[in-house]
Amino acid sequence: MRCSTLPVVTSSEHLTTVGADYDAMAQAYTAFAGEAFAGRPLNHVLVEAFAGLVRQAGGGPVADVGCGPGHVTRYLQDRGVDAFGVDLSPQLVALAREASPGIRFDVGDMGALDVTSGSLAGVLANYSLIHTPPDVLPATLAELSRVLAPGGYLLAAFPALDAAGATAEPWDHKVSPAWRYSLDHVIGLLRQTGVHEVAHMVIAPGEDQVRGFPQAHLLGRKTDDTDRTDRTDRTDRTDR
Ligand SMILES: C[S@@+](CC[C@H](N)C(=O)[O-])C[C@H]1O[C@@H](n2cnc3c(N)ncnc32)[C@H](O)[C@@H]1O
């Protein structure tokens, strides 16, 4: 991991910090997030594919973890997915319930979901892992894997880190402390939990007008097969 001058947030503090930070910005963030998603058609590509794959596999409940104001949860519902949302911020959850009264939204931590193991057809983490500190990321991804049924899909979108050898780096998110992670690091951590890469898309850094970060969209699938080895050994990859 690189060094940084940004404030250090320990794992014991981050849940309170993130929830309070989004509570304080809930109205403004809701307006921003809805427009941002609607205005980025490339962000829809793997969300559409995720919805299609979940339906094709027979459907079932899907958690949108770190759902914020719930616009992507609704986007999934509109595509025939039985989606519900979970977020740390009570204010955002209240706004999500108001905007989408037919959809279930809970206040909760994606790192400790009140969900039975192996019960979900899918988990979406759309730009919500960004506030998970590096020391908490492995356990958080393990929790997302825990709730997935065998064959269930996980989709995570996050600003990626493309520096060789680095796995995580803090950045100056406007609402709350945030990190970006290398795609290979996230793929490797997920693989340890039994979630294997199905596909990924990386949007070129030049498309991010604000910070110039590549944007990773990673689709994985939970398997029962603990001996599975993926055809490509990601640790040998040098093309990013
Ligand atoms: C950048 S916003 C993304 C919101 C939404 N997914 C979207 O696509 O617009 C990050 C959201 O993740 C939530 N979040 C961060 N860490 C979380 C955690 N551990 N558990 C639940 N929600 C979390 C924040 O409260 C915030 O609403």
Q: Which atom of ligand 1 is nearest to the CA of 68?
A: 27
Q: Is 105 in the pocket of ligand 1 (CB under 6 A)?
A: no
Q: What is the pLDDT of residue 230?
A: 55
Looking up residue 35, the CATH number of its domain turns out to be 3.40.50.150
Q: Is 68 in the pocket of ligand 1 (CB under 6 A)?
A: yes
- For residue 87, the CA-to-ligand 1 centroid distance in Å is 6
- For residue 127, the CA-to-ligand 1 centroid distance in Å is 7
- For residue 59, the CA-to-ligand 1 centroid distance in Å is 24
> Is 185 part of any domain?
yes
> Is 77 part of any domain?
yes
What's the burial of 39, exposed, middle or buried (CB within 10 Å: 0-12/13-18/19+)? exposed
- For residue 148, the CA-to-ligand 1 centroid distance in Å is 19
> Is 83 part of any domain?
yes
pTM of the entire structure? Answer: 0.91
Q: What is the pLDDT of residue 240?
A: 34
> Is 215 part of any domain?
yes
Instruction: Tell me whether strands 178-181 and 148-159 are parallel, antiparallel or unpaired.
Output: unpaired
Q: Is 109 in the pocket of ligand 1 (CB under 6 A)?
A: yes
> Is 230 part of any domain?
yes
**Tally: H helices and E strands in the chain:** 7, 9
Q: For residue 201, what are the β-bridge partners?
A: 217
> Is 4 part of any domain?
no
Structurally, the chain folds into a number of domains equal to 1
Protein residue with its CA nearest to atom 13 in ligand 1: 66
Q: What is the pLDDT along the chain (240 residues), one digit of tens a residue?
A: 333 444 455 556 899 999 999 999 999 999 999 898 998 899 999 999 999 999 999 999 999 999 999 999 999 999 999 999 999 999 999 999 999 999 999 999 999 999 999 999 999 999 999 999 999 999 999 999 999 999 999 999 999 998 888 999 999 999 999 999 999 999 999 999 999 999 999 999 999 988 999 999 999 999 976 545 554 444 444 333
Tell me the residue ranges of DSSP E strands in the chain: 61-65, 82-87, 105-107, 120-126, 148-159, 168-171, 178-181, 195-203, 215-222
Q: Is 50 in the pocket of ligand 1 (CB under 6 A)?
A: no
Q: Is 144 in the pocket of ligand 1 (CB under 6 A)?
A: no
Instruction: Tell me whether strands 82-87 and 61-65 are parallel, antiparallel or unpaired.
Output: parallel
Range of the domain at 234: 14-239
Q: Is 69 in the pocket of ligand 1 (CB under 6 A)?
A: no
> Is 99 part of any domain?
yes
Q: What is the pLDDT of residue 239?
A: 37
Q: What is the pLDDT of residue 206?
A: 94
Q: What is the pLDDT of residue 11?
A: 56
Q: What is the pLDDT of residue 36?
A: 87
- For residue 129, the CA-to-ligand 1 centroid distance in Å is 7
> Is 7 part of any domain?
no
- Token code pair at residue 240: 């990013």
